Structures are given as C-alpha cells and as structure tokens.
Structure 1
Amino acid sequence: MALSRPLARLARCPQNLAALQAPVHQRRHFASPPVTQNATGSKGPTAMVLLNMGGPSTTDEVGDFLSRLFADGDLIPLGRLQGYLGPLISRRRTPKIQKQYAAIGGGSPIRRWSEYQAAEMCKLLDKMSPETAPHKPYVAFRYAAPLTEDTYAQMLEDGFGQGRGGRAVAFTQYPQYSCSTTGSSLNELWKWRNRLEGKRGSGEVDPQGAIKWSVIDRWPVHPGLVEAFAQNIEARLAEYPPERRDSAVLLFSAHSLPMSVVNRGDPYPAEVSATVYAVMQRMGMRNPYRLVWQSQVGPSAWLGAQTADAVHEFIKKGQKDLVLVPIAFTSDHIETLYELDQEIIGETGLDSVKRVESLNGSPVFIQALADLAKSHLESGISCSPQMSLRCPGCTSERCLEQKKFFAAQQAQL
C-alpha cells in the first residue's frame, strides 16, 4: 500500500475542506471538533482502537480485500512464492467470493457491527472511567476499509500524536490470540506507527509527543464474553423441545489454522479450547459438545476436524440435533452468514441443525468490552506477559520488533 495516501490526508487543509473531500464513511469524524489533549479527565482523552480482519462492505471491494489477505504471510503463509501465488489466488477466487457476498446482501456487515460496538463501548467507558475520558472510538481493519493506515492518519488528524502525545489502546477483537490474526494486526499497526510518527531513535527513545500505545491482546475466558456466548446458546437451545434440548450436540466452530502455524507454537488452539470449556462450565456441562474448525484454504494440512465434515458425519450417525456456535468471531461476517448458514446448515435441509446468533449488538458483550477496557486502563500495563513471548518456532524479525515496541511502551504509560 502506497505511503502517499495517508500522508496526503494529513496534508489537507483547511480541515472543513478535508471533511468535504473525505469518503462518506469518514465524514462522521468531523461532526465535532478534533480531540485535543486538554482532557476532561486527568488521563484523557483515550483512543480506543478495535482491531479486526474486516470484510468488504460491497462486492466491488472483494478483489482488493482478497489481494491484501493473500499477500499477508502472517495469515496465509505461502513462503517465498507469496508475491506470486498471493495475487494469482486472489484473482482466481474473486468471482466466486463476490457471489458469496452477493448472497448475504452484497457485502459484509462486520464494519457496521464493529463501529457500533466501538461507539457503544466508549459511551459506557466515559461513565465507568471518567479519568481517562473522553474515549474516542476507532476501528482498524487489516484487509478492508477502514484500513489501519487510514485509521492511524485519522487519529493524527483528530489531535492524537504528532507532538501532542495522547493515549491509545489497541483492542483486538479476536478474543483468542493467534500470530495470524492479532499478531498480523499488531504488525500492521506497528508498521504504520513508524511510518506516520517516526521510528524510535537511538537508545529506543520514542519521537517527542508520539501516541502512547497499550494493547489488549487476548481475552479468551473473560466472564462477560463467556456469559454473552452462553446466553446466545441457551436462547437457541430453547427452540428445541424440552425432551431433546439437553441431548443436542454443540459444535463450537472456529476459524482453522495451517498446521505449519500450529506446529510453530501458536497459542490459538489452546485459547479457543479455553473459551469453549469456560462456556460449557457456565452452562453446567449439560450438552455434549465438540470443538471443530472451518474456513480451510488450499491443499496443505490445517487444524481439524472440519466443521462441514463433522456435521455430515454426525447426521450420518443419526445425530440430527446440532447447534453450531461461532466461538472465535465477535460479529457476523462471511464465515457465519454464508459458510455456516448457507453452505453447511443450508445444505443439510434440516430444521434441527441451527446456528447460535453472533455477538453483534449484544448488550452483555458490549458491557464485557467496556469492563475489559476499564480494567486494562486501570492496570497501567502496556501488554500481557504472554504477548511478549515469541512462539518457539518463530523466525519473524518483524514479529520480534513489534513485540519489543509494545512491551517498551510500558515506560511511557
């Protein structure tokens, strides 16, 4: 991605002209004066930046989305042929994926839900943590608008950084950490921080007045997350007759990972398992359950069993009361609305195979986000001890430097 675009946005003036020239989805930022560091709270204002993979909001955006996705070696490792195979795969898959997005309404709702979740969380935070208020919501996607570099540029326009300092929290919306997801998003954030605010100087000194960052890097067993999942599962189970309710099999479905990533020591499988077990404990272990994996891409070995295969095999064995639970997603997107709903459940033709509603606008979930953020802000830590530990088989220098940067932010808080 060219550096000129976010830099050009910063150079625009006057600001009201920038507002008129900005894309429609960005104009909302100019509804009020820019955030400045004359805080209403003793430690505010605070930028709350929700990180996620993102998704194309229209079918026209699918090609660019796939190009970025297959170019990311953290998510889909293709080795030395990444630069050749990535564009080739994305071009070949674009027509097929465009049809899938057309089938779910013409685009992904993940941006709408993410912006809603961020805004509602910040409303709660302003009341719960007045000393760090006002809390300004941002969304930074890895592969779709609003891209990380554009969100970072917007933060600078809004009064954070560039000699003015200010506090920002990178809040991953992948509850379970993986180098392929959270790690990739943080690598991207670190890259654009260096490009837009300057690299650290000799002696690891930050540029004067740069944004002070901290990270909420994982939260797989947070009580609020567990409760939100459990309530949605119970609501779906209530649709079964009482005599069949407790025997329905819960299939917790998470995005799979290549075994090459797993064998490197990625913590994602263990953290997803922890979420599943915490949810089942909250539900009293009433139902039989399994953890399964979806969205495998390519011929290499991935984590299994695959969700589609598990559903097929259970039905073949006579178990037709199946409840799919998207356990690693915090809002609806292509993997829930198309892959689970249409490809897997739809093809069974059975009303007894159901999917649990995604977290989306759940008040319990949004309260959990606010609770997590408040606890993090009160803790005074830049990131968890787990985040600073590299995978045993990690050889990525980019990953190493990113982790060193966020860990070193501790001295700035």
Structure 2
Amino acid sequence: MIREQFKAHSKYIENPGDRIDFKSEKWAVLFLNMGGPETLDEVEPYLYNIFSDRNIIKLPLSFLLQKPLARFISSKRASKTKENYRAIGGGSPLLKWTRLAAAGVEKNLRDGYTNVTAYCGMRYTPPFIGNQLDKIADSGCKHVVVVTLYPQYSQATTGTAIQEIIDWLKKNSNRHDLTFSLISEWYDLPQYIQLLKNRIADAMQKVNDKKNSRLLFSAHSLPVKMIAKGDPYLEHVKRTASLAGEGHDYLLSFQSRSGPVRWQGPETIATIQELGRNGVRELVIVPVSFVSDHIETLHEIDIELRQLAEESGIENFIRVESFNDDPRFIGLLTDLVEESISRGRK
C-alpha cells in the first residue's frame, strides 16, 4: 500500500507527541485535496493533469503515450466541461472552501500552538502539493501533519496525493530535515458521523411525506478492478453510510463514472430512476464522499440528478448540504490534528 511506501520514504513518526515539542517548535499542517479549476481557462490543464496521472488512469499503449493521449482527451472534453463549470459560476469553489477550512483549523490550533501554519496542497490544480512542501521546507518547519480531506481512503484520491509527497521526498532528500505524520482516513470518526447525522436531520425536516420518501447516499464511484486489488474505499463508504444512516431506510449508490471500464455500482442515475418508478416522490441525497462543494455536488447532483429525479416523478429533491466552512467541520479537523500530535505524549 502507498501509505507504507510513504512511511518508508519519509522520516515518519508514529507517535510524534514524544518526539516533537509542538508548543515551541515550528510545524505545519498540510491538507490534501483534489483541486479544481477556478476559471474556465484552467479547465483543460486540470483535465490534462487528471488523465496524466497513472496512479488512477493507465491509458493504453505504454507509459510513453500517457501524456500525448491525456492531451488529446483533455482537449476533446474541455468544451463540455467548461459548459458545466460555466453553469455553476465559471469555476470550482473547492480551493476557496479548502482554504477557509485550513485557516479555521490554524486559528483553532494557535490557541495552544503559536508556531503552527496550515497549508492546502492540491493534486491537479495550484497550489500543488510539491510547491506547498517547498514552502514548508523553506519556512524552517520541523514537522508536518499531513491530513487528507477525503474521509474514505482510496488509491485514486488520498493515495495519489500521498504519491506526490513521496515523489517530492525523493527529489528533495538533501534539502530538508522534515519529519511527518499522516492522517489518511477518517470515515468512521465519531465527530464526522455526528455532523453527517445532523446534516441529514436538517434535510429530513424538508420532507413532507416520510412514507413516500427515501434517503440515498451517493459516493464517487471507483473502477471495480481497483477494489478487487484491495482498495478499501468501498468498505469505508459502506461503513460511513451504515453509521450515518442509522435509523433510516437508506440506499447507497455511486456517481461520476466515466470511460469504458467497469465501475462500482449501483449507479446513482439508475437508482433514482428505479425509485421514481417505485413511487418515491421525495428524495434526500447525501454526497457521502465529498466534504466541500465542487462540480460533482453543484452540477452533477444539483443540476443533472435533480433534473433526472423530476423526470422520474420525484417531486421533492433535497441535497444534504456540504460541510464547506461549517465551524463543526473545522472543529473535527482540529480534533484530528490535535489527536495526531498528542500520540505518544506522556
């Protein structure tokens, strides 16, 4: 697993609390996220970076042709993708929400740790993970707490972001003395589950007839072959849904599939159509693998799936709100970091 590779290549500390004086030493928190184009001009480079990533997409005809094929595919898809981003205001708000969350965590932590700085590292758009690590190394930090903003671990999300850190470490082994700790998943964190439950309860208040309503968790899909090779994402998503959906008659489905490979199902599109045929008239949908608004909540769910639901006879379509900069979300991230740096402390 890539997490083990990260530990092998970095100066990893399992219990930093007994090695680092976090109250006096300078240290950083690095939040990992996917990124997204903030302007329409950034759409094609964003797509190119995704299709160039062999950690998640291995295009045919060898490694040498990956980038030329990625260039071709991204140029072909750019026009349609730009239209989707234009429909939500001309760009993704993901970086904005990530920066606000990071700033909130830094503010919370500085009540007890005055030498901490929070950074956001994006996989496919600026600010890139490697560039942020350059800043951290140059700032004189001693330790970095790496925190994924994907609650459920997958090689296609957190894994490829960690690979970027590994690549940076290999290139910069002689220019820094950083130590690292890693928070790579938090799919069953009690604070996370409770916040999801609160969000669901708020959404359920908008349902008029509970008998003709359903609760649907929708997660980003993953190629079946990745799950077959041991990727834990599916089990993590199922566990999150089981905990957050306790007390509800819920369903779990998967969205955002693309390309000719076999993806994990059932598809959210087919599930919504079937619910409509079965007489469901009100639907509460939970974007379970996303914590901040971006193209897959604002366009795929709020526009595409909403329209599909209406065409399927569902009259009341309610999307559970993303966490974005909710103080409770910032609080749980703060708790994650504080728990990480306290491990081993006597």
Q: Which TM-score band (shorter chain)? A: 0.7 to 0.9
1:260 offset after TM fit, Å? 1.3
Within the alignment, does 1:146 sit opposite 2:127 as a pair?
yes
Moved more, 186-195 or 91-100: 186-195
User: Under a length normalisation based on structure 2, what TM-score does the superposition of the two structures give?
Assistant: 0.88
1:313 counterpart residue number? 274
1:73 offset after TM fit, Å? 1.6
Mapped partners of 1:208, 1:189: distance in 2: 14
> Deviation per CA, 1:340-387, whole angstroms, max 9, x where unpaired?
111111343354111110111222111110111110111159xxxxxx
2:39 counterpart residue number? 58
Distance 1:124 1:245, change over 3 A: farther
Which has the higher Rg, Structure 1 or Structure 2?
Answer: 1
User: Under a length normalisation based on structure 1, what TM-score does the superposition of the two structures give?
Assistant: 0.74
2:320 counterpart residue number? 356
Quote the RMSD (CA, aligned, Å). 1.9
Aligned pairs for 1:181-260 (under 5 A) are 181-195=157-171, 197-198=172-173, 207=174, 209-241=176-208, 244-245=209-210, 248-260=213-225
Mapped partners of 1:159, 1:210: distance in 2: 9
Mapped partners of 1:247, 1:169: distance in 2: 46
Which one of the candidate residues 379, 393, 396 is aligned to 2:343?
379
Within the alignment, does 1:369 sit opposite 2:336 as a pair?
no
1:43 offset after TM fit, Å? 4.9
Mapped partners of 1:57, 1:240: distance in 2: 34
> Deviation per CA, 1:146-183, whole angstroms, max 9, x where unpaired?
111221222233333xxxxx111110011111011111
3-state SS, counterpart of residue 301 of structure 1: coil
Distance 1:210 1:88, change over 3 A: same
Q: Would you say the 8 A contact 2:23–2:115 is kept in 1?
A: no
Q: Would you say the 8 A contact 1:227–1:364 is kept in 2?
A: no
Which one of the candidate residues 91, 98, 115 is aligned to 2:99?
115
1:32 counterpart residue number? none
1:318 offset after TM fit, Å? 1.0
Which one of the candidate residues 333, 341, 344 is aligned to 2:302?
341
Mapped partners of 1:62, 1:235: distance in 2: 34
Q: Would you say the 8 A contact 2:281–2:315 is kept in 1?
A: no
Mapped partners of 1:188, 1:50: distance in 2: 13
Mapped partners of 1:347, 1:246: distance in 2: 21
2:88 counterpart residue number? 104
Q: Would you say the 8 A contact 1:320–1:352 is kept in 2?
A: yes
1:134 offset after TM fit, Å? 2.4
> Deviation per CA, 1:130-154, whole angstroms, max 9, x where unpaired?
2x54221100000011111221222
Q: Would you say the 8 A contact 1:252–1:327 is kept in 2?
A: yes
1:178 counterpart residue number? 154
Mapped partners of 1:257, 1:311: distance in 2: 19
1:395 counterpart residue number? none
Q: Would you say the 8 A contact 1:228–1:362 is kept in 2?
A: no
Distance 1:115 1:316, change over 3 A: same
3-state SS, counterpart of residue 240 of structure 1: coil
1:209 offset after TM fit, Å? 4.8
Number of matched residues?
A: 320
Mapped partners of 1:245, 1:158: distance in 2: 55
Mapped partners of 1:288, 1:303: distance in 2: 21
2:237 counterpart residue number? 272
Mapped partners of 1:315, 1:66: distance in 2: 34
1:329 counterpart residue number? 290
Runs of 4+ aligned residues of structure 1 deviating over 4 Å after TM superposition are none
Q: Would you say the 8 A contact 2:273–2:308 is kept in 1?
A: no
1:9 counterpart residue number? none
Q: What amino acid is aligned across from residue 369 of structure 1 in structure 2?
A: L
1:216 offset after TM fit, Å? 0.4
Which one of the candidate residues 56, 73, 79 is aligned to 1:95?
79
Mapped partners of 1:169, 1:296: distance in 2: 32
1:225 offset after TM fit, Å? 0.7
Mapped partners of 2:176, 2:37: distance in 1: 34
1:411 counterpart residue number? none
Q: What amino acid is aligned across from residue 338 of structure 2 in structure 1?
A: K
Q: What amino acid is aligned across from residue 301 of structure 2 in structure 1?
A: L
> Deviation per CA, 1:260-298, whole angstroms, max 9, x where unpaired?
1111110000011111111123xxx1x211111010010
1:59 offset after TM fit, Å? 0.8
Distance 1:52 1:247, change over 3 A: same
Structure 1: 5+ residue runs without aligned partners? 1-38, 161-165, 199-206, 382-413
Mapped partners of 1:319, 1:89: distance in 2: 39
Q: Percent identity?
A: 35
1:297 counterpart residue number? 258
